[in-house]
Structure 1
C-alpha cells in the first residue's frame, strides 16, 4: 500500500532527523547545518540565536501514486590520493627494480656459463690437437716399421713352407724306414 502525501512527508522527516542525529551510523559526512558556526549555535542551546532546522522537503511524487524516491548515499571521503599514488609508484619502482635485477642476474649467469663453456671447449680443442699430433706420430712410426713387418710376414711364409717340407720329409723317412726293415727281415 502506497503512502499518501502526509504520511510520506512524516516518514521523510523522521528519516532525516535520524540521519542528522547519528551521521556516523551510516558513515556519512555531517549535515550542512553542523558547520563550525552551527556547532556554536547548537552548543548555546535551542534558545536564543539558534537557527531553526530546515523544513523537511516534500517528497517528489510521480504518476505511480505517491511513491517516495530515495536520495543517493554519499561515500566517505577517500584517503589522500596523492599519498596513495606516491605509495603505488614507490612500490611499482621497487617491483620493477627487482624484475630488472633478476633479469640482469640471469644475463650475468648466462655470461658466466658461456665463459666456462668456452674454456671447456678450448681445453677439448687442446686435447684433440694433442691426440691428432700423437696419432700422426704413430702413423709415421708405423710407416717406418712397415718394411720390417713385411719382412716378418715373408719369414713367416717361408717358415710355414719349411715346416710343410719337414713334415713331408718326415713322412718320407718313415716310409723308407718301413721299407728298410722289411728288406732287412728278408
Structure 2
C-alpha cells in the first residue's frame, strides 16, 4: 500500500542526507588534540601579526569547520522519520492480514455452502435410491412380461412357419378364430 500525504513527505525526507561541510580543515598541526569521545578539539590558530617586515603581505586565517548540528536533534529527527517509515510498514502488514482474514472468511462461507449443497445432493440420492427400491418389483414384472412376450413372439413365428407348411395362410386362420370367438 503506497503512502500518501504527510506519510509520503515524511518518507521522502528520510532519504535526504545533509550535505557534507564544504570547508574542511585538513591541517596536520600539532595543536589538534582528540578528547576521550574521539572528537577533535582545535585550538584557534594564532593570527600572524600584520606588522611583519614583509612589506604589506596579508596573512591568511586557518579555515575552520562549521559547527555541526546538534547530534541529539539529528537523532530525534532520524527516529521520527524511522517511526513514520515503520508505522507505514506495519500499517501495510496489518492491511495484508485483514485482507487474508476476509479471504479466509469468504472461503469458509463458500465451503459451508458447498457442504449444504452436498448434503442436499446426498439426501436426494437417498430418496432416489428408495424410490428405485420401491419400483424394483414392478421393474421385475416388466422384465418377466418382456420375456414372456419374446417367448410368445417366437411361438407365433413357429406357428406361422408351421401353418405355411400346411398351406393355410395365417391371416385366414386368425379370421376363423375370431369368428368362433365372437
TM-score (norm 1): 0.57
Match of 2:145 in 1: 155
Pairs within 5 Å for 1:1-186? 26-28=23-25, 31-33=44-46, 52=49, 75-177=65-167
Q: Residues of 1 paired with 2:77 and 2:23: CA distance?
A: 29
User: Segments of 4+ in structure 1 off by > 2 A?
Assistant: 25-34, 73-80
Matched residue pairs, number?
Answer: 121
Q: Residues of 1 paired with 2:72 and 2:121: CA distance?
A: 72
Q: Residues of 1 paired with 2:109 and 2:95: CA distance?
A: 21
- Residues 79-131 of structure 1 show CA distances to partners (whole Å, capped at 9, x for unaligned) of 22222111110110001101111111111111101100110011001000100
Structure (1 or 2) with the greater helix fraction:
1
Query: What are the ranges of 5 or more consecutive residues in structure 1 without an aligned counterpart?
Result: 1-24, 35-50, 56-72, 179-186
- Cα RMSD (Å) of the superposition? 3.0
Query: What are the ranges of 5 or more consecutive residues in structure 2 without an aligned counterpart?
Result: 1-21, 26-41, 53-62, 169-182
Q: Residues of 2 paired with 1:80 and 1:30: CA distance?
A: 21
Q: Residues of 2 paired with 1:171 and 1:146: CA distance?
A: 38
Q: Residues of 2 paired with 1:75 and 1:147: CA distance?
A: 111
- Residues 44-63 of structure 1 show CA distances to partners (whole Å, capped at 9, x for unaligned) of xxxxxxx946x9xxxxxxxx
